[in-house]
Amino acid sequence: MKSNKKIAVIGLGYVGLPLAVEFGKKFITIGFDINISRIENLKKGIDNTFEIDSHVLSSTLSNGMFSVSSNKKDIKDCVFYIVTVPTPTDKNNRPVLLPLINASKTVGSVLKKGDIVIFESTVYPGLTEEECVPVLEKTSKLKFNKDFFVGYSPERINPGDKEHTLTNILKITSGSTPEIAELVDQLYKSIIKAGTYKASSIKVAEAAKVIENAQRDINIAFVNELAKIFNLMGINTNEVLEAAATKWNFLKFKPGLVGGHCIGVDPYYLAQKSQELGYHPEIILAGRRLNDSMGIYITNEVIKLMIINNIKINNSDILIMGFTFKENCPDVRNTKVIDIILECKKFGLNVTIVDPWAEPSEVYKEYQIQTYKQVPDFKFDAIIIAVAHSEFVNIEFKNYAKQNAVLYDVKGCLNKSKVDQTL
């Protein structure tokens, strides 16, 4: 791989920025994003996703090979274009392809003969060649697999995980021709310490990614269902899982809310394509339905405990600890904590939300609700630990609890002797 091959990474979020930084250490790389404020922050060495250390970001930006921009003209001389934009779903759980289509139009407008476009966004099998390639052809007026080529290498970033980082996770690669597949594989192999796996086709690589998250979603749905059953039996689910995990081949998943931009979304992409082909997926959608129901279930369990403790429900005060989709991560996209909040409000509860990781302005923009960084000096009728942020473990919740208050630990992160119930 020649070092003079210029690379553009389109989309500088949780996936794109770490990728752009790593490539920027070895090749001339331009990180592109349409969010101007995001670009300005990155130029100052500030990454609001906390995926890249400010020192690493600043030093890479100063090495003369890496830069960031929101100006399309700055990427027109690149040879590799790597697209890492989000692939969300709408309120009816249908895939929203607009970010991917718009990114394809952007790349198509600067595409030249011999260029290679690599997609990392999670999609259903076939989407890259069926949806993105036609946009590239139409915008660029070039011919696929003659004038330009395409690759697919699904992202495997785990937001907030400082152990399983980009270079430490084996990377799946693929290309639209055998020669391009090898070229794409070598490109990624130059930065991925864990190595690469060259899939036989783009469709295989797409399918491999989408089933990774679908499988995890189904496994969590299973333990969530177990939690409901064991709760009726008066058994602690976490104690059951710990006992079962003493067998070497037991998969130790934990119950909880399943949101975020990957696990809570990707199964719907596979289901959509399946339904288009005339097959209605049963297990995949059953797992999604069960996991999507957990916010309402948790709220109802808390309400039951409050009634048992003789707490008046209407106009009572409830504290929800955590709003992001997972612990020790600022990402609030598709968080299922919102389901708890909305259900609490249906019961007439006064809800206060505290999350030291979530940015209040971002939460308000996305969900129109107020969050706080610190617990207010106030006492509550019920407290729900919704996200297992490390900051919550040593909090003395009794200081914020009214008499007979309920403490419900969704993630089982506190000592069980301190809580009224875990999921």
DSSP 3-state of 44: coil
CA distance readout (Å), 82 to 19, 35, 103, 115, 140: 9, 17, 10, 11, 16
Instruction: Give me the catalytic one of 78, 132, 262, 413.
Output: 262
At which residue do the structure tokens 């979603």 appear? 217
Work out the number of other CB atoms within 10 angstroms of the CB of residue 272: 16
> Is 262 an annotated catalytic residue?
yes
For 213, the token pair is: 């998250």
- The H or E element containing residue 319 is strand 317-321
Rounded-to-integer distance, Cα 364 and Cα 338, Å:
12
Asked if 99 and 83 touch (Cβ cutoff 8 Å), the reply is: no
Q: Which of 199, 184, 203, 180 is nearest to 123 (CA)?
A: 203
Rounded-to-integer distance, Cα 350 and Cα 104, Å:
45
Work out the number of other CB atoms within 10 angstroms of the CB of residue 222: 15
Q: Supply φ then ψ for residue 115, to 5 degrees.
A: -75, 155
Q: Which of 92, 97, 93, 77 is nearest to 32 (CA)?
A: 77
Positions of E strands within 99-155: 116-119, 149-152
Kindly tell me the sign of the dihedral angle through the C-alpha atoms of 258, 261, 267, 268: positive
Rounded-to-integer distance, Cα 126 and Cα 42, Å:
34
Residues identified as active-site: 262
